[in-house]
Structure 1
Amino acid sequence: MQGPTIIVTGTDTGIGKTVFAAALAGALGGWYWKPVQAGIEEDGTDADRAARLSGLPRERVLPEAYCLETPCSPHLAAEIDGVVIDPARLALPQVDGPLVVEGAGGVLVPISRSETYADQFARWGEPVVLAARTSLGTINHTLLSIEALRARGVPLLGVAFIGDPVEDSEATICAMGQVKRLGRLPLIDPLTPEALRSAFAANFHLEDFTA
Structure 2
Amino acid sequence: MTQGIIVTGTDTSVGKTVFAAALAQALGATYWKPIQCGLDGGSDSAHVRTIAGLPPDRILPEAYRLNLPASPHRAAEAEGIEISLARLKLPEVEGPLVVEGAGGLMVPVTRQALQIDVFASWRLPVVLVARTALGTINHSLLSIEALNGRNIPILGIAFVGDEVADSEHTISGMGNVRRLGRLPRLDSLEPAHLAQAFADHFRVEDFR
Q: TM-score range by the shorter chain?
A: over 0.9
Alignment match of 2:163 (pick from 158, 162, 165): 165
Which of 87, 94, 98 is equivalent to 1:96? 94
TM-score (norm 2): 0.98
CA deviation after TM superposition for structure 1 residue 3, in Å:
6.1
| Cα deviation code 1:96-148 (max 9, x no counterpart) | 01000000111111101111111111000100000000000000000000001
Aligned equivalents of 1:41, 1:28: Cα separation in 2: 30
In the other structure, the counterpart of 1:76 is 74
The residue number in structure 1 matching 2:136 is: 138
Q: Specify the alignment match of 1:4 in structure 2.
A: 3
Deviation at 1:55, TM superposition (A): 1.8
Runs of 4+ in 1 over 3 A off after TM superposition: none
Check if 1:49 corresponds to 2:26: no
Q: Which runs of 5+ in 2 are unaligned?
A: none
Counterpart of 1:114 (choices 109, 112, 118) is: 112
Q: Say if 2:188 is the partner of 1:186.
A: no
Q: Distance in 2 between matches of 1:61 and 1:115?
A: 26
The number of equivalent residue pairs is 208
**1:152 aligned to 150, 160, 163, which one?**
150
Q: Report the aligned-residue RMSD.
A: 0.9
Percent identity (aligned): 60
Cα gap change, 1:3 to 1:205, in 2 (>3 Å): farther
Equivalence for 2:25:
26
Alpha-carbon distance in 2 for matches of 1:138, 1:113? 27
Tell me how far apart the structure 1 counterparts of residues 52 and 188 of structure 2 sit (CA, whole Å).
15
Give SS of 2:92's match.
coil
Q: What is residue 58 of structure 2 aligned with on the other side?
A: 60
